[in-house]
Structure 1
Amino acid sequence: MIFFIRSYIADFDARMGKYFDALSEAGVGFRFIGWNKDGRQVPDRPGFHYFSRRARLGAGWRNAVALLQWNTHVFRRLVKERRSVSVVHAVDLDAGFSSWLFCLMFRRPLVLDLYDKYTAVRGIGGFAGKALDFLERTIARSAALTIIASADRFSQHGLEPGDSKVLVLENVPSAAVAPLVPWQAKKPWNIGYFGVLESRHRGLEDLLAACRGRPDVRLHVAGYGHLAPQFSAAAEAGSNVHYYGAMESEAGLGLMAKMDVIVGMYYLSVPNHRYASPNKYYEHLMLGRPLLTTAGTPPGARVEQDVSGWAVAEGEASLTQWLDGLDPEAVMKRGRRAAQVWDERYASYYRSHYCGEYVMRIRMLCKGGRQDGR
Structure 2
Amino acid sequence: MKTHIFRSLPLKADSRTTRNQQIFSNGKSQTYTWEKSGGKTDSTISFPYSKSGGKLQKGIKFFLFSIWVPIQVLKHAKKSDKVVFMDLETAALGLLAAKIKRTESIFDIVDPFAQTKIKSKTIQKLLDKIEIYIARHFDKVIIPHQSRIKYYSDRGISTNRIPKMHIIENVPLLQDGNHPKKPNREIITIGYFGTLDNESRGIEWLIEFCKRMNGKYNLLIAGGGAMQNKIQELSHSNTNIEFLGPYSALQIPELYSKIDFTWAYYTPKIELHKYAAPNKFYEHIFFKTPIITSSCIPQNKEIESLGSGIKVNAEDFSASEMEKLDRLISEIQSKKNEIHNRLEIHWKENYEIYYETIKRSEVCA
- TM-score range (shorter-chain normalised) is 0.7 to 0.9
**CA distance, structure 2, for counterparts of residue 217 and residue 52 of structure 1:** 44
* Equivalent residue, structure 2, for 1:5: 6
Note if contact 1:190-1:219 (Cα within 8 Å) is conserved in structure 2: yes
1:42-69 deviations in Å (ceiling 9; x for gaps)? 9523xx2112433369x99984333212
Name the CA shift for 1:164/1:248 in 2 (closer, same or farther; >3 Å).
same
| CA offset digits 1:111-170 (Å, max 9, x no partner) | 110111121234533442222112101111111100011122223234547966111111
Q: Distance in 2 between matches of 1:94 and 1:60?
A: 17
Q: Does 1:347 align with 2:352?
A: yes
Amino acid at match of 1:172: V
Alignment CA distance shift 1:309-1:43 (3 Å): farther
* Pair 1:83–1:110, CA change in 2 (3 A): closer
Structure 1 CA distance for aligned equivalents of residues 101 and 204 of structure 2 = 47
Verify the 8 A CA contact 1:23 1:29 in the aligned structure 2. Answer: no
Aligned with 2:33: secondary structure? strand
Kept in 2, the 8 Å contact 1:71–1:95? The answer is: yes
Give 1:187-266 correspondences, 5 Å limit.
187-212=186-211, 214-266=214-266
How far off is 1:210 after superposition?
A: 1.9
- Confirm or deny: 8 A CA contact 1:290 1:338 kept in the other structure: no
CA contact (8 A) 1:154 1:161 kept: no
Q: Are 2:119 and 1:129 equivalent residues in the alignment?
A: no
Give the SS at the match of 1:156. Answer: helix
Judged with a 3 Å threshold, the aligned counterparts in structure 2 of structure 1 residues 52 and 291 are, in CA distance, closer, same or farther, namely farther
Match of 1:369 in 2: none
Between 1:275-284 and 1:240-249, the stretch displaced more is 240-249
Amino acid at match of 1:132: L
> Identical aligned pairs, as a percentage?
22
Q: Select the residue among 321, 324, 329 that pairs with 1:326.
A: 329
1:257 deviates by 3.0
Higher relative contact order (CA 8 A, sep 6+): 1
2:174 aligned partner = 175
Stretch moving more, 341-350 or 79-88: 79-88
Match of 1:338 in 2: 343
Residue 42 of structure 2 is matched in structure 1 by: 44
Alpha carbons of 1:21 and 1:105: their partners in 2 closer, same or farther (altered >3 Å)?
closer
Over 3 Å counting, the alpha-carbon distance change for 1:163 and 1:306 in structure 2 is: farther
Is the 8 Å Cα contact of residues 284 and 291 (structure 2) preserved in structure 1?
Answer: yes
**Alignment-derived partner of residue 272 in structure 2:** 272
Deviation at 1:333, TM superposition (A): 4.2
Q: Aligned letter for 2:115? A: A
User: Which shifted more, 126-135 or 100-109?
Assistant: 100-109
Q: Which residue of 1 aligns with 2:85?
A: 90
Match of 1:79 in 2: 74
Query: Is contact 1:293–1:299 with CA below 8 Å preserved after alignment?
Result: no
Instruction: Give yes or no for contact 1:197–1:227 (8 Å, CA) kept in 2.
Output: yes
The one of 103, 110, 123 aligned to 2:105: 110
One-letter code aligned to 1:278: P
The 8 Å contact of residues 223 and 244 in structure 1, kept in 2 or not, is answered as: yes
Task: Flag the 1:55–1:200 CA change in 2: closer, same or farther, 3 A.
Answer: farther
CA distance in 2, matches of 1:125, 1:61: 18
Q: Call closer, same or farther: CA 1:125–1:258 in 2, change over 3 Å.
A: same
Q: Name structure 2 gaps, 5 residues minimum.
A: none
Q: 2:297 matched to which residue of 1?
A: 297
The Cα of 1:238 is off from its aligned counterpart by 4.7
CA deviations on 1:286-312 (whole Å, 9 max, x unpaired) are 111111110122133321232111122
Task: State the secondary structure of the residue aligned to 2:90.
Answer: helix
User: How far, CA to CA, are the matches of 2:275 and 2:114 in structure 1?
Assistant: 13
Whole-angstrom CA distance in 1 between matches of 2:207 and 2:56: 29
Q: Tell me the alpha carbon deviations over residues 61-99 of structure 1, each in whole angstroms, 9 at most, x when there is no partner.
A: 984333212112222222222448722101021222131
CA contact (8 A) 1:4 1:33 kept: yes
- State the number of aligned residues: 353
State how 1:159-170 maps to structure 2 within 5 Å: 159-160=158-159, 165-170=164-169
Q: Does 1:15 align with 2:16?
A: yes
CA drift of 1:101 comes to 2.9
Q: Work out whether residues 110 and 144 of structure 2, in 8 Å CA contact, stay in contact via their aligned partners in 1.
A: yes
Give SS of 1:326's match. helix
Q: Residues of 1 paired with 2:335 and 2:38: CA distance?
A: 41
Give the unaligned 5+ runs of structure 1.
365-374
Asked if the contact 1:264–1:291 (Cα under 8 Å) also holds between the matched residues in 2, the reply is yes
Native 8 Å contact 1:146 1:166 kept in 2:
yes
Residue 309 of structure 1 corresponds to which residue in structure 2?
309
Counterpart contact for 2:38–2:49, Cα < 8 Å: no
Q: Which amino acid aligns with 1:44?
A: D
Q: What is the one-letter code of the residue matched to 1:75?
A: P
Deviation at 1:319, TM superposition (A): 4.5
> Shift of the alpha carbon at 1:41?
10
Q: Which secondary structure state, in structure 2, belongs to the residue aligned with residue 110 of structure 1? A: strand
